[in-house]
Chain A
Amino acid sequence: MAKKLKHIDDVTIRFAGDSGDGMQLTGDRFTSATAIIGNDLSTLPDFPAEIRAPAGSLSGVSAFQLHFSSHEIFSPGDNPDVLIAMNPAALKVHFDELARGGTIIINTASFTPKNLKLAKYDTNPLEDDTLKDFVVYPIDMSRLVKYVCEDMNISPKMVERTKNMFALGVLYWMFNRPMDTTIKWLKEKFAKKPEIVEANTRALNAGFNYGSTARIFTTNYKVNAAKLRPGTYRNISGNYATSLGLLAAAVKSGLPLFYGSYPITPATDILHYLAEFRNFRVKTFQAEDEIAGVTSAIGAAFAGSLAATGTSGPGLALKGEALGLAVITELPLVIVNVQRGGPSTGLPTKTEQADLFQAIYGRNGEAPIPVISARSPGDCFYAAFEAAQVALKYMTPVILLTDGYVGNGSEPWIIPNIDELPEIKPNFFKPGDGREYLPYGRDEESLSREWAVPGTPGLEHRIGGLEKEDGSGAVSNDPDNHHKMVTLRAQKIANVVNDVTPCRVIGEQSGEVLMLSWGSTRGAARAALQKLLKEGKSVSHLNLRWINPLPADLGEILGRFKKILIPEINLGQLAQIIRARYLIEPYQLNLVRGRPFLTSDIINAVDKLIG
């Protein structure tokens, strides 16, 4: 039977299975193949906090969502068009979100009475009418991979584990993806285990061939390359982009990079990536705890490194006191907070934006710190670079807020030309030009103090957590001096506004509704904007990058719109800051579910405002 090829523009796929089924890996491979074709894409990994929850259980389901398109996209998609369910629990957990009439590819081998019971199915959904409104492809993947590997001398367990590659092969056929990058990847990943490469390659090919020959499949799809900006692209995750951004800042400033950190989900990958950069003489230090992570970085900053530390919410709480030390010693330091669901241990593997107040206010005393946020995985590179620029120019700690979604998510990214990135000039005191070194002497414009690094003759000085005398930096308990220093530190951070780029409003520059987002919520908001503008609605969008200080032109821009809608994954933290600062009453959209907004969430909220 001849098969049909159909062109479509936009697909959202969700891979779902047991924690041990390799869904993240499968999703990553599909993403790579999709990126190479030139589709625009956005991903959302979604995995449980447990490494291996009980097999077959609802809590053990791990998923990976990928949205790809022939046009520019901003979010990982709302309701998947295609669901790959490797077991009953995966079907149960994700079924409700599947688009009506969508496609479900099922590994029937796992639909055993035991697994059905674990997934809380009373009857087998493959046999009742649960799936009647969907296009279902039931495939006994476990049996098929057994066939293709039967002449190989490997364990049945190993064979069973190749079923994710079979599923991937089916999807490669269905969406016309090239398989060579995956095969190359298998060869590199399992270089020392050729039998694993062979078994997985066979399973992958078998899946592809199954799609092209089995009668149940009648149609496959082509999604053309998107018209993206010209350039050399790679697919990049947020945490990798953050690592590259820090490294680029080190290279551009001529400083060695020191990264002190304690493993914490979802920030740990930054430590992993930077540890690979030893040939750049990057010094990563896995500290004994969060406090040692940040204080070792403060020590490294004093000694002349570009110092950084990375963590997630609970870790930022532990670092709070030390951040005050970095504020009063006025040392350059980048703190990356890959936000996750809180409070306390909360939802370790899920995303949230509820650390904004913690980042801006979470210290004793008047301890202002600039706060920058990243809007997408690739943007983490620029946000990290900019954080380091400001830290070095103003001699201050800077907090970079990303989150689990942008940190683990990925997108195609134009690789920047290193030569076009700005040079960073650390604010070193230069001995020998006749001036006396004053540890707390300041640049008149920026109010930044000058950096003098141990090992430099003649600049010996002492700094620390006690209040400083203006200029000399000697310990001072003088009341007026304290007031002066508190004011100077606040003014210095306020001055960062001079390095904050003006706001960019997408859509009409004035009108009915302005969606004001920050950080990763930009994705869903921009996707909503696209749809709303198509419907002819008067709506615009502005995404904030710097939240402390806020851009100088923000107040004036807010005044040009009748209604301001602030969607954020917390209970209204930015809204409260905006309300206090500009004395306006914004509308809030707050959904704190441990996942990014759906585009439809935002569209519905705007529709309500416009009426």
Chain B
Amino acid sequence: MEKNIKVPTKQLTRMDFTSDQTVKWCPGCGDYSVLAQVQRVMPDLGIPKENFVIVSGIGCSSRFPYYMNTYGFHGIHGRASAIATGMKLSNPDLSIWIVTGDGDSLSIGGNHFIHLLRRNIDVNMLLFNNRIYGLTKGQYSPTSPLGKVTKSTPMGSLDHPFNPPALALGAHASFVARTIDKEPKHMQEMIRRSHQHHGTSFLEIYQNCLIFNDGEFASYTDKEVKHDNVLVLEHGQPMIFGKNRDKGIHLAGNRPRVVNIGSEGQWTVNDLLVHDEKDWIIASILSHFTYREDLPTPVGVFYAVQQTVYEDLLLDQCQQAVELKGAGDLHELMNSGDTWIVK
């Protein structure tokens, strides 16, 4: 079935996407940055404002829909993915953005998260990962590192954390990316890429919780050290990082390691792993840099491939059924099979 392609009738601006509600996140919260970047990018996506829907679950990030002057739905804990699925199947023309957190989507909503990804429904997910429960005031989350001391784990947490990109790749995600709250330009680019992808886009956003987990991502955001700790992925480019761009990722067998490139060393650019967004193995290797002390943290698009999209197939089936049986006729259906007349 053909989609109704609608375009905005006028150039939209950031103000068109700003609601009249007072934003109530803590001052300095990383969420402000995400809201600002989304409001900056959306006007330029070529979609009429009325076709955007923001869907969220529960948690600090999930207040997001109230701050956007679009259609919005603030759901219940963990269920944003399932709610969004129903919306998209109901109206595939909508541009649906799920705003969720590490607790919302990886703990209580873990089931919906993996099934959304494997179905590859064409929605965008912004997962704010602050590695802590903020709205319930500071318990460890499913992405908190082992041994995390919080109010609910005074002697340290006992469970191994989820690795979101690895989990997404394991669930057959067709688009996996990561960005950081303090890198607005990069985040805008990732939001744009998420939108462009046909299928479920999973964008993990490292987001600092000033109150309960301040500094969790400091090594990726502090000017002094970030370049040595963050690997910015670019499709088709060798994996180089470092303040002086003198470090790179070399693959020894199937083990990634950091090597120094430059005049004095034995390694050159030619020895480095070249990023390929379409290579699941590379994406998988990169996803396992997460939590590793000896490797930089990748940001950018890990993986982006075209896979069949659930609602496209659903619409195809409807079309096929019409071609096969004719457009549904209720009278005919009800009178089908064995019938008899009583006079």
Contacts and interface: CB of A to CB of B under 8 A. Distances in A.
B155 interface: no
A234 B86 contact: no
Contact of B331 (A285, A298, A418): A418
B75 A303 contact: no
Contact of A456 (B50, B58, B65): B50
Given A230-B343, A233-B341, A300-B86, A295 B73 contact: no
Interface in B47-77: 48-51, 53-56, 58, 65-66, 68-76
B321 A279 contact: yes
A304 interface: yes
Given A232-B335, A234-B339, A235-B338, A299 B90 contact: yes
Contacts of A283: 89-90, 314, 318
Contacts of B86: 258, 260, 285, 295-303, 305, 307
B90 A305 contact: yes
A528 to B, nearest CB: 26
A225 to B, nearest CB: 8
B60 to A, nearest CB: 14
A299 B87 contact: yes
Nearest to A184: B338
Interface stretch (B176-184, B209-217, B218-226, B322-330): B322-330
B331 A300 contact: no
A497 interface: no
Given A296-B89, A300-B89, A36 B340 contact: yes
Interface string B193-220: 0000000000000000000000000000
A300 B87 contact: yes
Given A300-B89, A465-B74, A415 B79 contact: no
B111 interface: yes
Contacts of A300: 86-87, 89-90
Contact of A232 (B115, B322, B326, B341): B341
Contacts of A38: 340, 342
B7 to A, nearest CB: 12
A302 B338 contact: no
A324 B335 CA distance: 38
Nearest to A417: B331
Nearest to B71: A454
B341 A462 contact: no
Binding site secondary structure of chain A = mixed
B317 interface: yes
B84 interface: yes
Contact of A230 (B79, B82, B342): B342
Given A288-B112, A292-B111, A415-B335, A258 B90 contact: yes
Contacts, number: 205
Interface string A272-306: 00000111111101011101100111111111110
User: Which of B325, B328, B341 is the most central at the interface, judged by chain A CB atoms within 10 Å of its CB?
Assistant: B328
B340 A35 contact: yes
Interface string B280-322: 0000000000000000000000000000000000100110111
Contact of B318 (A281, A459, A463): A281
B325 A244 contact: no
Contacts of B314: 283
A455 B75 CA distance: 19
B334 to A, nearest CB: 5
Interface string A48-91: 00000000000000000000000000000000000000000000
Q: Report the contact-size class of chain A (Cβ under 8 Å from the partner).
A: 35 or more
A465 B324 CA distance: 42
A258 B89 contact: yes
A235 B58 CA distance: 47
Interface in A392-449: 415-416, 418
B253 interface: no
B263 interface: no
User: Which of A32, A228, A280 is the most central at the interface, judged by chain B CB atoms within 10 Å of its CB?
Assistant: A280
A321 interface: yes
B94 interface: yes
B93 interface: yes
Contacts of B76: 295, 321-322, 324-325, 465
Contacts of B48: 457
Contacts of B91: 303-304, 453-455
Contacts of B325: 279
Interface in B18-40: 19, 21
B251 interface: no
A247 interface: yes
B73 A244 contact: no
Contacts of B84: 299
B85 interface: yes
Contacts of A225: 342
B318 A278 contact: yes
Contacts of B58: 465
B121 to A, nearest CB: 10
A244 B333 contact: yes
A301 B317 CA distance: 22
A310 to B, nearest CB: 14
Contact of B87 (A415, A454, A462): A454
Contacts of B79: 291-292, 295, 322
Nearest to A279: B321
A251 interface: yes
A229 interface: yes
A228 B48 CA distance: 58
A11 B50 CA distance: 63
A458 interface: yes
Contacts of B69: 460
Given A232-B339, A455-B50, A460 B70 contact: yes
A289 B69 CA distance: 32
B258 interface: no
B83 interface: yes
B154 interface: no
Contacts of B66: 462, 464, 475
Interface in A177-209: 181
Contacts of B326: 279
A36 B339 CA distance: 7
Contact of A35 (B73, B338, B343): B338
A574 B265 CA distance: 84
Contacts of B335: 232, 234, 415
Given A296-B85, A454-B94, A474-B21, A463 B73 contact: yes
B164 to A, nearest CB: 19
User: Which of B50, B70, B341 is the most central at the interface, judged by chain A CB atoms within 10 Å of its CB?
Assistant: B50
B94 A233 contact: no
Contacts of B115: 287-288, 292
A466 interface: yes
B204 to A, nearest CB: 21
B321 A454 contact: no
Contacts of B236: none
A229 B326 CA distance: 32
User: Which of A299, A453, A455 is the most central at the interface, judged by chain B CB atoms within 10 Å of its CB?
Assistant: A299
Contact of A233 (B49, B85, B328, B342): B342
Given A295-B76, A299-B85, 5 more contacts: A283-B318, A302-B86, A455-B50, A455-B94, A464-B73
Please provide the 4 A-B residue pairs with the shortest distance between their CB atoms, ordered closest to farther: A464-B74, A299-B86, A280-B328, A296-B86
17 contacts: A35-B340, A231-B341, A233-B342, A234-B337, A277-B333, A278-B321, A282-B328, A283-B318, A285-B86, A295-B86, A296-B83, A302-B73, A454-B53, A460-B50, A461-B71, A461-B72, A463-B72
Interface of B: 19, 21, 48-51, 53-56, 58, 65-66, 68-76, 79, 82-91, 93-94, 111-112, 115, 314, 317-318, 320-322, 324-328, 330-331, 333-335, 337-343
